[in-house]
Amino acid sequence: MAVTLGAMGGKHDRLSAAEAASVLGWWIEAGVDVAVQEKPRAWLGEGAAAPVDVVPAPPVEEVNEELPDSLEAFRSWLGESSAVPLARAGARRVLPVGGEAAEVMLIADVPAPEDASAGQPIGGAAWELTKRMLAAIGIAPEQAYVANVSCIHSPGSRLSPKDLEACGAIVRRHVALAGPRRLLLLGDAPCRAVLDKRLGDARGHVQKVEGVRAVATFPPRLLLEHPSNKALAWKDLLLLMEDEC
């Protein structure tokens, strides 16, 4: 059996029975019991649009090294530069996955041990949940561009305020070069770096980052630990997709 999933504006055509069951599982866990959501919403653009917060970009010069001006060069820079926050001898780098002009770009926290082991920005059970979240809004994993706020896995290290400031400039350049249609910030560190806001303050608002519609939500690893937050995450995903429906 195959199921068509296009209601949320994604471009992949059909899901297998197993994939459809996984998506339905996410919806059930998120408490979704209506086709869209309880309150009527102007899906076709009628009425007042959700307010958009345009966050001023910090000057790129705050990073003490000139950032590349092409995505290919930028990804090479991430893999080699000592200017990437948390870079140090022995630290592992987890490079972004995806291509230009993706349906959505995900910015996760620094790589966890599971991510470093998998060699991807979000790994293990957290990635399986992320795929279900994407499928629920009609986006296939290959349509997403996935990166970390810093690509460095350095056990025992934490991002300082100065590191977060540098990460903000780096992420903004990354977004500008990757050119996604939407941006999803997963967790507190990406919100603090890019928006200068805590996750709790950033959630529920539409932002503009390098001209890209951006929304903040809980990181998938936290959703695994606290499933009750999935209903709130579903609202964030609807907000992310709202102008595309």
pLDDT in tens, 135-194: 999 999 999 999 999 999 998 889 999 999 999 999 999 999 999 999 999 999 999 999
Q: Report the alpha-carbon distance of residue 13 to residue 66 in Å, rounded.
A: 41
Low-confidence ranges of the chain (pLDDT < 50): 1-4, 7, 34-36, 40-48, 55-62, 245
The count of structural domains within the chain is: 1
Tell me 211's DSSP state: T
pLDDT on residue 177? 98
The CATH number linked to 139 is 3.40.470.10
Query: Structure tokens of 207?
Result: 């932002």
Range of the domain at 239: 2-244
Q: Report the alpha-carbon distance of residue 50 to residue 45 in Å, rounded.
A: 10
Check if the beta carbon of residue 199 is closer than 8 Å to that of residue 191: yes
Q: Are strands 104-108 and 182-186 parallel, antiparallel or unpaired?
A: parallel
